[in-house]
Amino acid sequence: MRRFPVPVAIGKHWSMGSVRIGVDTGGTFTDVVLVDEETGEIVTTKTPSTPANPADGFMAGVHKVLELHTGSGDLGDVSAIVHGTTVATNQLLEDRPDGTAHLGFVTTEGFEFILEIARQSVPDGYGNSYFWVKPPRIVPVHRVRTVGGRLDHLGREIRPFDEAGAVQAARWFAGNGVTAIGVCFLHSYANPDHERRMREVIEREHPDAVVSLSSDVLREYREYERSVTTLVDAAVKPIMRRYIGNLSDRLGRPFSVMKSNGGVLSASEVVHQPITTVLSGPAAGALGAALIAGTAGHPGVITLDGGGTSTDVAVVVDGEPSLTTEGNVGRYPCKIPMIDIVTVGAGGGSIAWISREGTLKVGPKSAGADPGPLCYGRGGTEVTVTDAHVFLGRVPPHLLGGEIPLDVSAARAGIEALAGKLGLSPERCATGILEISAFNQSNAIRQITVKRGLDVRDFPMVAFGGSGPLLACRLIDVLGLRAAIVPPNPGNVSAFGLLTVDVKNDYVRTHVSRDPSQETLRAVFAELEGQAAAALDREGFASHVYARSADLRYYGQAYEVRVPAPDGPPDEGWRAAVVDRFHEAHQRLYGYGYRDDSRHAVEWVNLRVSGIGPITRPKIARLPYQPDEPSPVATRDVFYERWGRTVIYRRGDLRAGAVVTGPAVIEEYGSTLPVHPGFTATMDDYGNLVVVSDR
């Protein structure tokens, strides 16, 4: 546990009280941050995650942080609890057999093979295969039902809805044990009437089923992506409702859940749209890191969130993480707005193994929290990245300030056994494990930067999470980064980020036109803002903020570029401003544009509104400059290029201006920073450790 006595100004959320808590459930640990709004004090802690029932770890963390703060686990002074979780999608990410076993699909007659047709793009390249096999369907063909009726692309009815066919489909689902149903009719983005009538039939004929409508989940065109997104939402609804209900009963009070788009939403609303919680925890980490880096004068950074199971990376430009609607849940495309995050299976629990070719591999399989790495002493049998760090002395022989002792001898025995199979020395084997993990992380960073036209060398990297700082020096070398920034208490940045975000809902409407009329634009935006206002009213916000955007493309292109749209009435000047922003964005993304070429008309595709219920974000206070010579608290044998007696610093003893020159190790409650030879770590005015190469 670590307390921050520095003054932090926190704005009131949508309920009254003096204490706010953020809880981020990870694969290995559940991270908790408490903010006392009266005193400005921040208290952080961690507790082991409980994969069998994540609610157990959640409740243990809440009670633990309250006892640290007041000596009592009483929830009476808590004004808000915000939760980051991936419970809703773990079953899909891990391909659990029960994830889609009770899932069915209703679509327009004649379109029963839309999931089979999918898209032409090859997910993993052609590789060594002579034939490309498409990813498995999320719903097998025998659980697809079709219903007659047809709308055109403007939502006009061509053939009436087939009520009798709908009844027959609903009864088939009921008789075959299908309890989660996704409904996606052709062109329902333009007119949801047929889908809503289908829901009424299912509710009448099969009341035990949960239903997701594509016109509610994703009201934009492209039938395949809309269908899959809707089916993912339906698949996770049952487990999300059980989990949220369990937590609500145990807490006895409302709470909120982090969404992938960078906002939060009350748990009572989230159960109706669980797909929005994909990447819930990683999104909070990116937002928390963006705020911390921006306060320290770094509006553009790469964020690296290293956990026990995976590492999540994102890019922050002008203080805001990049957004995308081209994300995936495991193998399934999901077009909901989400922070643009690339995830790689390279966490502290990632398992080292030998391939059939006899080469060393690391991840993506993880030992997780249970049984965990060998050094946890809980029955783990495979070497992990954490074991390599422990063997090399780069982390202390304990976690969480001594709360979890580590078995160094077990890590050593595992490394030696693996090294023997590879014909390597134990030191070379352990170093190789860390090198592979570092390259896995660097490849994820390249995907989020180079692949999107950004130069990785233009950005410092914010390294956080329990394992995030461990490979910071190697990543600086591998990628040529300017610096690595390690925030205070890096293991709890995601939980801290949960307390910094607004309530946010996204609404979209497809309207394809090369010349949209002012009346149409005004009507669509008014409808979307009305939906946003209703949701914010339900959340208890008196103040509403609306952010408009639009997806545009050059006529004939297949995909769009999203640009922000200004406030005000959508008159000629407004439309010209949006088109001008599109030209600029297209030039920036692809290196060319047709601003002055009338042969390439601009086509409008989607109109969007984000409804935001704002809170006042934390203001992290500047620390007094005290450049005293830091004093090490201990020494131990650490292997960098060779074994050597290395000084150990306690981060809580360092002050602004302190400089630590490698080789060294800086330890704190939830994380450790190994400072390699040839590197320097300097504490800045906000308590961040800024690591640079001296080479």
The pLDDT tens digits of the residues spanning 545-578 come to: 999 999 999 999 988 999 999 999 999 999 999 9
pLDDT at 4: 37
Q: Which residues of 132-152 are buried (b: 16+ CB within 10 A; e: fewer)?
A: eeeeebbbeeebbbbbbbbbe
pLDDT at 626: 77
Query: What CA–CA distance (Å, rounded) separates 155 from 188?
Result: 7
- Look up the CATH superfamily of 280-347+437-497: ATPase, nucleotide binding domain (3.30.420.40)
Give kind and range of the element (H or E) at residue 23: strand 19-25
Token pair 């889609």: residue: 100
Tell me the average pLDDT across 335-356.
88
pLDDT at 679: 97
Please write the tens of the pLDDT for every residue from 259-309: 888 888 888 888 888 888 877 878 899 999 999 999 999 999 999 999 888
Q: Extract long-range pairs of 58-61: CB within 8 Å, 24+ residues apart.
A: 58/23, 58/25, 58/30, 58/83, 58/247, 59/247, 59/250, 59/251, 60/30, 61/23, 61/30, 61/31, 61/32
Residue 660: pLDDT over 70: yes
Q: In the structure, what pLDDT confidence band is assigned to residue 2 with cuts at 50, 70 and 90?
A: very low
Longest CA–CA span in the chain (Å) reads 81
Between 341 and 425, the higher pLDDT residue:
425
Q: Domain residues of the chain, as ranges?
A: 92-241, 280-347+437-497, 503-613
What's the whole-number average pLDDT of the chain? 88
Burial (CB count within 10 angstroms: exposed 0-12, middle 13-18, buried 19+), residue 609: buried
Please write the tens of the pLDDT for every residue from 662-686: 899 999 988 999 999 999 999 999 9
Please write the tens of the pLDDT for every residue from 210-241: 999 999 999 988 899 999 999 999 988 888 88
CATH architecture of 503-613: 2-Layer Sandwich (3.30)
- Out of 130-134, 324-328, 543-547, which region has the weakest mean confidence (pLDDT)? 130-134
Query: What CA–CA distance (Å, rounded) separates 33 from 31?
Result: 7
Both tokens of 319, joined, read 């203080």
φ, ψ for residue 68 (rounded to 5)?
-65, -35
Q: Extract long-range pairs of 360-363: CB within 8 Å, 24+ residues apart.
A: 360/422, 360/429, 360/432, 360/433, 360/436, 361/436, 362/433, 362/436, 362/437, 362/440, 363/437, 363/440
Please write the tens of the pLDDT for every residue from 3-38: 333 333 333 333 445 788 999 987 778 899 998 877
pLDDT at 6: 34
Between 335 and 150, the higher pLDDT residue:
150
pLDDT at 97: 40
- Out of 122-136, 351-365, 416-430, 607-621, which region has the weakest mean confidence (pLDDT)? 122-136
Percent of all residues in the chain with a pLDDT value above 90, rounded to a whole number: 58
